[in-house]
Amino acid sequence: MMIGTLLRLGRRELHTIISRETIKPSSPTPSSLHTYNLSSLDQLIDQKYVSLILFYQNNGNSNLSAHDKAREIKKSLSQSLTRYYPFAGRLCTPTTTYVQCKDEGVVCVEAQNDRELKTFQHISEQDSNLDQLFPDSLDGTNIVGVQLNHFACGGMGVAVSMSHIIGDGCTLGSFVNYWASVTRYGSAGHEEVLPLNPHFICSPTTNSIRPEVKVINHGYANLIARNFVFPNTKLSELKNKVIALASSGPTPPIKNPTRVEVLTSLLYKTAMGAATKKSGCFKPSYLFMPMDIRNKFVEKLPQTTVGNLGSVMVVPTRHTTASSLHVIVAKIRDAKSQLEGIQSVQHAADNFKSLLTKLGNEESEDIAKRSYVCSSLCGFPYNKVDFGWGKPVGATLALKSEDKIGFVLKDTPDGDGIEAQVILEKEDMEIFENDNEMLSFCQINQL
């Protein structure tokens, strides 16, 4: 049944909501699991939605029609929610510290868009056109929402919005891969599904409410995004350059730097240079790097562990002498080493709260002036999510939050490099995208 139509005049663009329904777990959740307590790390996260959309071409890999694909994917979602039972639950209020898991279900919207898939394939999270591809009926108490988008070319966009309080990007990646695996093999009991089963942390009951998360308002204006692709051959050259710089100076040598380390260093250095050139003087800058810490525990956690298992590395650059590539890489490595040896989730939460206190009190004024966030999705399984009609040709992960400048890194679909989405103020971007050193390592793929 047709529920509604959105017509965007001027662009002659038609976006039609075909159906809206609630998908419930295929098997009821046992009464012993009706309450899912948020961990001490989950309780430090603001209530936002992490939104992922995967784009699939109609390339003839499947004999199923668009209608049949939608039917199969809804059926497997119902089966998957039996394992990921908190995802079908609700928060009683936006500040409660537990999820009530009584099979309320997941909102599932199906939509038809008259534009081509390629129009959205490299879209920025800053583009308002992205919003129409995600479910619009989530009120903050929903844990997960899904929207299936059918494009004019026959391709499909599978969009998932997950409450950040239930998990991070790794949690979302594990869920969609499990869901895809169930779709491919038609049964949650298939042996190919079992290794992807979720791992839940048992968290104690608390009578408190989740604290309000302080958001720093940076006050950036005219933010724009550009995509830059860095082939692996060029990243190897960049690694060699970093190693050579470190070996020629008084700093300790750098061995085997990763692609993410050297590319983050290059982007951060270039962005600082652009801001300095615009203003005419260097100002202290800060690099923030969210980091998955599942493998930083003394007893490592499975990658399928559900929850917010992350921390933030902070690399301050207070002087121009510290803005060299090899110096930034060395600082990133030092910050990474400090995350090792986590004893427990509570230990990780205490460390994170200490960092938030420091940033909120001592350095918030400087941080608000010039800070960059670099989120790396390299190695995340988004490009491998196969529902039975092939791997996605593109993926966009968006976390709608306060305005921010920085970089989002992800593997190219062919695995032969890294695609970096760079978000800067307009004047800075005009300088950034013409930097000769940065351009020597990449090919530009503009939005």
| 402/321: higher pLDDT | 321
180-233 pLDDT, tens digit per residue, is 999 988 655 666 676 789 999 999 887 666 666 555 555 667 888 899 999 999
Question: What pLDDT, on a 0 to 100 scale, did the predictor assign at position 415?
Answer: 86
Q: What pLDDT does 219 receive?
A: 60
Q: CB–CB of 366/216 below 8 Å?
A: no
Q: How confident is the model at residue 414 (pLDDT cuts 50, 70, 90)?
A: confident
Return the half-sphere exposure (C-beta side, CA atoms, 13 A cut-off) of residue 419: 22
What is residue 10's predicted lDDT score, i.e. its pLDDT?
39
Convert the pLDDT of each residue in 281-322 to its tens digit. Answer: 998 899 999 999 999 999 999 999 999 999 999 999 989 888
What the block records as the tokens of 272 is 């600082």
Q: What is the pLDDT of residues 57-88, one digit of tens each?
A: 987 777 788 889 999 999 999 999 999 999 99
- 1 or 426: which leads in pLDDT: 426
CA distance readout (Å), 40 to 105, 203, 349, 365: 25, 8, 6, 28
Question: How do residues 245-272 score in pLDDT, each as one tens digit?
Answer: 999 877 788 999 999 999 999 999 999 9
Q: What is the CATH number of domain 223-378+401-445?
A: 3.30.559.10
Average pLDDT over residues 126-144: 85
pLDDT attached to residue 190: 63
Same fold, 4-196 and 223-378+401-445: yes
pTM of the prediction? 0.89
Distance (Å, whole) CA 281 – CA 266: 20
> Residue 443: pLDDT above 90?
no
The percent of residues in the chain predicted with pLDDT above 70, rounded, is: 86
Residue pair 231/443 in contact (Cβ under 8 Å)? The answer is: yes
Ranges of each domain in the chain: 4-196, 223-378+401-445
Chosen CATH of 4-196 out of 3.30.465.10, 3.30.230.10, 2.30.30.90, 3.30.559.10: 3.30.559.10
Q: What is the pLDDT of residues 317-336, one digit of tens each?
A: 989 888 999 999 999 999 99
Highest mean pLDDT among 11-15, 119-123, 415-419: 415-419
